[in-house]
Amino acid sequence: MYEDWPTNLIIACTTIAVVGIVILLHYEMLSRIVAHNRRHAEGAGRRRLVAVYLWLLLLHVVEIWVFGLAYYLLLNLAGVGEVHGMHHDNLFDTVYFSAMVYTTVGFGDMVPVGPIRLLTGTEALVGLMLITWSASFTYLEMTQYWKDRDR
């Protein structure tokens, strides 16, 4: 389908790198939240839970920006494809597109065409997994809060 192997290799390597970055970032942030909550276990539970939620929200926004920056850099190379409906010289368009893909909202006004679809499909899967990881983490923190509260 796409015979341009150097371009495909660039996209594959970028995809692997970005996925590695966001997974490590996610893991490290969750580890820091757990460490902080263990050190301050006696603190106000509600504030702790709100802080967890806000940190996770910020973390997902940062991860969306990492993918958005990857789109921005890749789409300015020749032959990687394009995203119909997007201005490639606009970082905010690539971040918006990334947010739609990451949250699996779906395509509407922007649709990927060409080899760039590898990054797009991978981001949708990774975004779904990271969001569910955060939801599971939040559930565990809530469970711990309820245990502590009932003591």
Q: Is the pLDDT of residue 1 over 60?
A: no
Mean pLDDT of the chain: 90
Q: Identify which has the larger pLDDT, 146 or 129.
A: 129
pLDDT-derived band at 43 (thresholds 50, 70, 90) equals: low
Which structure tokens are listed for 59?
A: 């973390």
Residue 54 pLDDT greater than 70, yes or no: yes
pLDDT in tens, 93-139: 999 999 999 998 887 889 999 999 999 999 999 999 999 999 999 99
CATH assignment of 5-150, among 3.30.980.10, 3.40.50.300, 1.10.10.10, 1.10.287.70: 1.10.287.70
